[in-house]
Structure 1
Amino acid sequence: MLKKLERMLFGNNQNIKYYTLNGILFTLVTVLSKGYAIKFLDRLGGDDIHYSLFNALPGFIAIFTTIPGILMIQRGKSKRKTLGIFFYISRFMPLLLAAVPFLDKKIQPIVFVLIYGLMNFPESISATSLQDYTGDIFLPHERADALSVRNQMSQIAQLTISILVGFILSLSSVNRTVIIMYQVFIVLSFLIGLKEINYMYKLDPIEKDDIKIRRKVPKLKKSLRAIFSHREYVGFLACSLLFHFGWQMGWPLFNSYQIKYLGANEMWLTIINVLSSLFMVLSFPIWKKIIKKRDYKFTIAFATFGMGLTPILYALSGNLVMLTLMQSATGFFTAGTTVAILGSLLAVCPDEYRTMSVAVHATLTSVTLAIAPLIGTYIQEIIHIQGALYVTSALRLLGSAVFIYRFMRSLKNSHTSKTERKNK
């Protein structure tokens, strides 16, 4: 029975199997160590400025670490082993968060935020490298299937673990008891992370024409010159950065709106996250079909437009029940954006410089991450939370508009090429 289910989900592709299992355990680790981190911070006495730093500091750290880390992985004897070292470090660091409640109460919020930000040093490198490694282990026509299956099964895992964690956290209303629960979850996430890394080690690079793919490691200056002269990549990068700015600007606003304005506790956060995850699970197969039928350019334009409407839906939600019902749309379009962003990035990267192309994209989106949440909070202080959400929506829709323009331009170029071929 189990083997039949494996064949149905993964076919005969062992890489898809281990890639998916790695994704499932990655999700469990993330939920247990970071899923309720913002509420953990709130219980330690965090306020709006801590929420902003919580969202912005990881991006600031990643700006200075992603490209050097990627170069280190590229130049190592084994990309997989060096990648594993960064994963081990990233799984250990949340244990430091679990130690924060033992510190003086006055410094707990800022120390928590600083550790959370520093965690992004190994995480940004390992996550970016795994994105690049996806190109090593799957052929282009396999990537949509691999990304869809991994994301779908990961969301099912998130759904399950979120319900369980939310139920356990709701058993007590005593602040100290809930904090101890958070500490236990973080230790558990470390143990699960060890198995997650084991599955990553089982992923094998593809073989093409019976020759294992090996890339030379070009010099940094040559790599940067090459990728920034690649028009398709630069066009995608510009669109992505504009959209990411609006996307990331809303993160502290959503946290603040849910917790401070609508009074969400752990149980409500669980319900909101579970419903969003459920609709993501249901929609991944739909997005896979859209990608295969209409390609990545159409898909990312459509998905980002839907995400542009999300802050408006938040602003219109006057209570937690209404906000929860809005998660159907949020989950649907987030699923599409998640799959389409990575697939689009891999599709436009110059193959010889793919690792550096992915690293540059990650670094520049980290720049927006370091700035956007702080700007979101600043706007919130000036024009209140609803106004800030509308501004965020406008910026997201502007980002989507450039993706739509990119898609329309590709249609025009395709039509021109067909006409030229007919005339010949």
Structure 2
Amino acid sequence: MKSKNVRYNSKINVLNGAFQAIAINLTNPYLAKFAQRLGGGNIYFALMTSIPYFVGFFSYVPSSIMIESIPDKQRTIGITMFLQKMFFLAIALVPFFGGNKALLYIIFLGFMNLFQQISNMGYQSFIADVFPPIDRVHTMGSRSSIASIIGMIVIFVGGRLLSLLPKDNNNEIIKMYQVLFILAFIASLIELFFFSRFRYEKSKKKKKENSLSILKTVLNDIPNNKKFLSLILASSIFHIGWMGAQPLFTIKTIEILKATEGWISAISIVSAISSFIFYPQWAKFAERKGNAAQLTFSILLMGIAPIAYALCTNLLQLTVFNVVLGAAASGTILALFNFTIEVVPNKNRTIYIAVYNTIIAVVAAVSPLIFTYINEVSSINVALITAAFFRFIANFFFKKVRD
């Protein structure tokens, strides 16, 4: 039976996730389309994925040391979250600036995503402190399922608002985007409030080791931690195919198949419905078979995604296929989150996660640019099938982590 504290924190976790879903789904489905309306093209779609990881490469480890060294981890993560939320407002102001609006938007988006990733890294470590392993999978599954329902509703509302405006009235549509970013900012502040309500046992005092000493200890231990090294290798290979395909999906959807905000909304809703249906099933699967087995099956489905995108010739096919993509993505995100926590040592966990994220950041920053280049010199189908290849072979290397 769950303790009173676990039950309370589970409710707070769901509420926190609900308002995070509102903020994310008001804006995320339309980020690439907004870049296009501001004048951006294919290279901007690649930079949307790459820039946060380029910046993150230099900041993950210092940020993790700060989070790990300060007794009140919750407050430190909360400050990082607040900085990320402020960029919703900054992006809302982009249309008022002169010059290259699309580039300024991509830069703001990059820094917003950077703070988001640092927050996620801290949240991942924080949740491991708040919930015992036996409760963690179920709790995160419940959060994800409810967030998916709310996400569907928000995507539908956002898509309808954007679709009601004349398609050729770019200025009016941009104004509606500004409204959505402001609403996302308000929702994100409520998300932050619920994060501050978690109850957990804070460290009684600061660690005696200084920051550089902690980092040195971790770096010295990593070569002897074969399982952690195997995780980095497997995840790097997977992220080549995962992140490398992101701008390709955008190019296929927006540039080749000419999706409007209405179609983007429909595709996102189908994916969200699929995520909602499959999240609890993935959680049950993980409880029965383990996170590693769930990750294997999820990645197999993820490998199908780029091939299906290559075969799609119209937006209806793409929308229907996102049933599979939504299921695959939800399972992969949940499994990778839990599997990483499972593999990473408890001592100095945040710094281990930061080292992991720093290495992944290099891969995630370069891959979108490489695959966009492959698209330019060959074809979108060649680039997509190459991405699928890396996703498939990653499973072999994840198996090595389990062995």
Q: Does 1:14 align with 2:8?
A: yes
Cα distance in 2, alignment partners of residues 121 and 228 from structure 1? 27
Counterpart pick for 1:157 among 132, 137, 150: 150
Cα distance in 1, alignment partners of residues 14 and 229 from structure 2? 30
Shift of 1:406: 4.2
Cα distance in 2, alignment partners of residues 98 and 182 from structure 1? 7
Shifted more, 47-56 versus 161-170: the winner is 47-56
8 A contact 2:85–2:112 mirrored in 1 = no
Instruction: Tell me which residue corresponds to 2:75.
Output: 81
Q: What code does the residue aligned with 1:146 have?
A: T
8 A contact 2:6–2:131 mirrored in 1 = no
Instruction: Tell me which residue corresponds to 1:131.
Output: 124
Shift of 1:142: 1.0
Counterpart pick for 2:20 among 13, 23, 26: 26
Q: What TM-score do you get using the length of structure 2 for normalisation? A: 0.94
Counterpart pick for 1:347 among 342, 345, 351: 342
Cα distance in 2, alignment partners of residues 147 and 298 from structure 1? 17
Shift of 1:213: 11
CA RMSD of aligned residues (A): 2.1
Moved over 4 A (4+): 211-218
Instruction: Tell me which residue corresponds to 1:356.
Output: 351
3-state secondary structure, aligned to 1:172:
coil
Query: Counterparts in 2 of 1:272-291, with a 5 A limit?
Result: 272-291=267-286
Q: What code does the residue aligned with 1:231 have?
A: K
Q: Does 1:195 align with 2:197?
A: no
Counterpart pick for 2:111 among 113, 118, 142: 118
Q: Does 1:221 align with 2:182?
A: no
Q: What code does the residue aligned with 2:264 have?
A: L
Instruction: Tell me which residue corresponds to 2:139.
Output: 146
Q: What code does the residue aligned with 1:343 have?
A: N
Instruction: Quickly say closer, same or farther: Cα 1:141–1:213, change in 2 above 3 A.
Output: farther
Shift of 1:216: 6.5
Shift of 1:206: 5.7
Q: Structure 1, residues 366-415: CA drift from partner, whole Å, max 9, x if none?
A: 111110100110000111111111111111111123224544xx3xxxxx
Cα distance in 1, alignment partners of residues 64 and 303 from structure 2? 31
Instruction: Quickly say closer, same or farther: Cα 1:328–1:33, change in 2 above 3 A.
Output: closer
Instruction: Quickly say closer, same or farther: Cα 1:290–1:141, change in 2 above 3 A.
Output: same
Instruction: Tell me which residue corresponds to 1:413.
Output: none
Structure 1 vs Structure 2: percent identity of aligned residues? 29
Counterpart pick for 1:47 among 33, 41, 48: 41
Q: Does 1:101 align with 2:99?
A: no
Question: Greater Rg, structure 1 or structure 2?
Answer: 1
Q: What code does the residue aligned with 1:159 have?
A: M
Q: Structure 1, residues 70-94: CA drift from partner, whole Å, max 9, x if none?
A: 2122233411111111111110012
Query: Counterparts in 2 of 1:25-424, with a 5 A limit?
Result: 25-104=19-98, 106-173=99-166, 174-205=169-200, 219-407=214-402, 410=403
Shift of 1:175: 0.9
Q: Structure 1, residues 300-358: CA drift from partner, whole Å, max 9, x if none?
A: 11111110110001111110001111011111111110110010001111111211111
Cα distance in 2, alignment partners of residues 133 and 224 from structure 1? 22
3-state secondary structure, aligned to 2:224:
coil
Cα distance in 1, alignment partners of residues 123 and 358 from structure 2? 15
Cα distance in 2, alignment partners of residues 142 and 213 from structure 1? 27
8 A contact 2:214–2:348 mirrored in 1 = no
Q: Structure 1, residues 3-59: CA drift from partner, whole Å, max 9, x if none?
A: xxxx99x99611111111111111211122433111111101111111111111111
**Runs of at least 5 residues in structure 2 that lack an aligned partner in the other structure:** none
**Runs of at least 5 residues in structure 1 that lack an aligned partner in the other structure:** 1-6, 411-424
Cα distance in 2, alignment partners of residues 297 and 74 from structure 1? 27
Cα distance in 1, alignment partners of residues 251 and 362 from structure 2? 22
8 A contact 1:291–1:299 mirrored in 2 = yes
Q: What code does the residue aligned with 2:287 have?
A: K
8 A contact 1:284–1:335 mirrored in 2 = yes
8 A contact 2:68–2:351 mirrored in 1 = no
Instruction: Quickly say closer, same or farther: Cα 1:405–1:351, change in 2 above 3 A.
Output: closer
8 A contact 1:206–1:213 mirrored in 2 = no
Q: Structure 1, residues 97-129: CA drift from partner, whole Å, max 9, x if none?
A: 11111122x411111111111223322211110
Q: What code does the residue aligned with 1:144 have?
A: V
Q: Structure 1, residues 142-192: CA drift from partner, whole Å, max 9, x if none?
A: 111011111111111111100110011101022111111111111111111
Shift of 1:64: 0.8
Cα distance in 2, alignment partners of residues 65 and 11 from structure 1? 33
